[in-house]
Amino acid sequence: MRGVTIDDITRAADQLLADGERPTIDGIRRLLGTGSPATVNALLKQYFQSLQARLNLPAPIATAAAELYEQVQATAREELEKERAAAEGELAAGREALAQERRDFEVERTAFHQRVADLNADLERHREQLKATSAKLASTEKELGSQTTRATTAEAQARASEAERERAAQKHAGELQRLRDQAEGNERHLLGRIDEQKAQLQRLVQDRERETAAAAKHAATLETSVSEAAKLNASLRAELTTTQRDLAKRQDAVVAAENALQRAQEQATKDQALRHAELDRARAEIEQLTAALEQHKRDRDEALREAAKLDGKLSALQGQLEEARAEIRRLQKAKSSEPGSA
């Protein structure tokens, strides 16, 4: 296939002028159906240089046309530089906004981790309190067993002394009543302490639920921030696409630009690649923010599991309390059924 010649360019440019259109690189390539942009640009420059001789224009008119041509080129270059500077400024502003949002996110994440650590410390202290309560319950049960042993011993002594049966029986009844009163008082005291521990546990669970709700709300806020950052990234990409379309239109306006203008266009292409690289880094930062948000969600789920474990321990403690009550009732029933207890 032969290459594009100056005759092909001349014929196509003349056709465009006859149709009332301006000879441009894209217009000529559309008519010819071939030709690289660089080749068409170089031949189109020769076409404009030979246009004076072909049209036999007077020298002043040709000079004025050349000056006008140079002014159009200079104006196009200035507009292109302004638009490129504006696009770079908007991209820099977008990067600064993303950097600021990232710094704010780091501060909020640090505060959130500190709050989770405080909640874990509170949970550990409550576990220690539950251990202390369990120890007190075991001590109370031991004391109750000791009291039961003393009551049995007193009752055996009453049966052994036949001569002092009546007095021993009365003494035994009084001692038994005292032991019953003491056992009931111990039971009330124990129930009161358990109710206090239960109320304290309930308050802690409620505080934990509020903290979990606050953490969920904070996570939602972070998700909104990430969504807004993604929207900003999309907006920057849309603006970059618009800038690219505008640059393409301006290239049509400076079709006869010299080699210096061609170098400027190549530099603009490099700048565009840099902007793409900056946008890729911004996407990577957004992915990091999303990963941090997922970690926050896992921390929140861990806190909920710890609260569930705490509820299980409370249920176990309530079961132990019911067993202690049943043992006390059994002892009371056994004492009331023994001879001489009336």
Whole-number pLDDT of residue 79: 60
Greater model confidence, 247 or 191: 191
Cα→Cα distances 185→108, 144, 148, 154, 319, Å = 52, 11, 15, 21, 20
The DSSP string of 101-164 is: HHHHHHHHHHHHHHHHHHHHHHHHHHHHHHHHHHHHHHHHHHHHHHHHHHHHHHHHHHHH-STT
Answer left, alpha or beta for residue 175, where phi above 0 means left and psi between -120 and 50 means alpha: alpha
List, for residues 312-338, the tens digit of each pLDDT value.
776 777 788 788 778 878 888 887 777
List, for residues 98-120, the tens digit of each pLDDT value.
899 989 989 988 987 898 789 88
pLDDT of 20 over the 80 cut? yes
Residues 6+ apart with CB under 8 A from 211: 115, 119, 303
pLDDT of 3 over the 80 cut? yes
CB count within 10 Å of CB 178 equals 12
pLDDT of 266 over the 60 cut? yes
Whole-number pLDDT of residue 68: 52
How many whole angstroms separate alpha carbon 95 and alpha carbon 89? 10
Whole-number pLDDT of residue 29: 95
Whole-number pLDDT of residue 185: 81
- Residue 222's pLDDT band (cuts 50, 70, 90): very low
Q: What is the DSSP letter of 75?
A: H
Mean pLDDT across 256-272: 72
Mean pLDDT across 27-35: 93
Question: Which of 75-79, 267-271, 292-296 is the least confident region?
Answer: 75-79
Whole-number pLDDT of residue 71: 62
Average pLDDT, the chain: 77
Give residue for tokens 């039971």.
187
Contact predicate 35/28, CB 8 Å = yes
Whole-number pLDDT of residue 76: 44
Mean pLDDT across 11-19: 93
Residues 6+ apart with CB under 8 A from 325: 187
List, for residues 61-84, the tens digit of each pLDDT value.
656 655 655 664 565 457 658 767
Whole-number pLDDT of residue 44: 92
Mean pLDDT across 50-61: 72
Q: Dmax over Cα atoms in the chain, in whole Å?
A: 159
pTM above 0.95, yes or no: no
Question: Which of 9-18, 166-175, 242-251 is the least confident region?
Answer: 242-251
- Residue 257's pLDDT band (cuts 50, 70, 90): very low
Tell me how many helices (H) and strands (E) the chain has: 6, 0
pLDDT of 50 over the 60 cut? yes
How many whole angstroms separate alpha carbon 234 and alpha carbon 244? 15
Query: What's the chain's Rg over C-alpha atoms?
Result: 46
Question: Which of 55-64, 121-130, 147-156, 260-269 is the least confident region?
Answer: 55-64
How many whole angstroms separate alpha carbon 58 and alpha carbon 76? 27
> Nearest Cα to 87, choosing from 264, 276, 286, 280?
276
Contact predicate 286/103, CB 8 Å = no
Residues 6+ apart with CB under 8 A from 62: 52
